[in-house]
């Protein structure tokens, strides 16, 4: 399974953000999407999630023939988590499981899911409004893992976690990647190099894969130089 993007363009008030995005993302890999602030990483995710309309181009899933990307194909984890603050974590998870019961292949108990995400027993019946930013992000990640969409768009999902939890989340992503197309947006190069199989730069409205090199220092320098220059002008 592949996510294919062809000629995707997006502008805001005559400012071109995504000029000509062409790329193929493969199942089984974690792609590190790197770009400077304002490069358009979140805009690209919003286009793929159809939160905003694209100006031109197309994207589709390819598996023995192309097909349209459906809403259930995409899980989008935002950098600022959106959870219902008026519910407890247990109530939220029960509600999510109830409305998606026909889509979950092998459902588990609510407490099994909490254990999976390392959410302590004393936190499971607390209101989500009292959760920290990192804890809310955990819940947002959890419901996306349960839904198990083909495409996971992760927009800075680990920056709010402490060191231990971040390592747990990275290991979890490594374990599930074989069944998904995972695009991991971050501005932290160290994190991308540690977690991701491929590094992709979004710079000046174009997407470009950076081939890995045996010399790690040379590879890092190549990434930095790639973000400095605009090779398409």
Direct distance between the N- and C-terminal alpha carbons of the chain, in angstroms, rounded to an integer: 33
**How many domains does the chain contain in total?**
1
Predicted structure pTM score: 0.88
Helix runs in 177-215, H state only: 189-195
Q: Dihedral sign, CA of 161, 165, 167, 168?
A: negative
Q: Are 31 and 182 in contact (CB under 8 A)?
A: yes
Domain residue limits at 106? 2-228
- Taking the CB of residue 217, how many other CB atoms lie within 10 A of it? 8
Do the domain assignments include residue 110?
yes
In a domain, 233, yes or no: no
For every one of its 233 residues, what pLDDT tens digit does the chain have, with 9 covering 90 and above? 999 999 999 999 889 999 999 999 999 999 999 988 888 999 999 999 999 999 999 999 999 899 999 999 999 988 788 899 999 999 999 999 999 988 887 889 999 999 988 899 999 999 999 998 888 988 998 999 899 999 999 998 777 677 887 888 888 899 889 999 999 998 888 888 889 999 999 989 999 998 776 666 777 777 777 777 654 43
CATH of the domain at 170: 3.40.50.300
Decide if 31 contacts 196 (C-beta within 8 A). Answer: yes
Query: What does the alpha-carbon distance between residue 64 and residue 227 come to, in Å, rounded to a whole number?
Result: 35
Does some domain include residue 194? yes
């Amino acid at each position: 399974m592949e996510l294919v993007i062809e000629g995707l363009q997006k502008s805001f008030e005559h400012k071109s953000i995504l000029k000509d995005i062409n790329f193929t993302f493969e199942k089984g890999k974690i792609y590190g999407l790197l770009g400077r602030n304002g490069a358009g990483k979140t805009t690209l995710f919003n286009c793929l999630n159809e939160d905003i309309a694209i100006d031109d181009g197309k994207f589709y899933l390819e598996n023995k023939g192309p097909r349209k990307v459906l809403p259930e194909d995409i899980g989008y984890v935002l950098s600022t988590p959106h959870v219902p603050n008026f519910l407890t974590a247990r109530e939220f998870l029960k509600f999510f499981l109830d409305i998606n019961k026909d889509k979950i292949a092998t459902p588990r108990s609510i407490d099994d899911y909490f254990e999976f995400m390392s959410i302590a027993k004393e936190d499971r019946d607390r209101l989500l409004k009292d959760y920290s930013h990192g804890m809310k992000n955990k819940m947002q990640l959890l419901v996306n893992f349960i839904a198990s969409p083909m495409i996971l768009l992760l927009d800075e999902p680990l920056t709010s976690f402490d060191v231990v939890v971040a390592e747990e989340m990275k290991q979890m992503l490594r374990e599930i990647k074989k069944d998904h197309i995972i695009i991991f947006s971050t501005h932290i190069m160290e994190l991308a190099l540690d977690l991701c199989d491929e590094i992709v730069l979004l710079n000046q409205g174009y997407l470009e894969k950076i081939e890995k090199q045996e010399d790690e220092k040379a590879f890092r320098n190549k990434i930095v130089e790639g973000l400095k220059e605009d090779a398409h002008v």
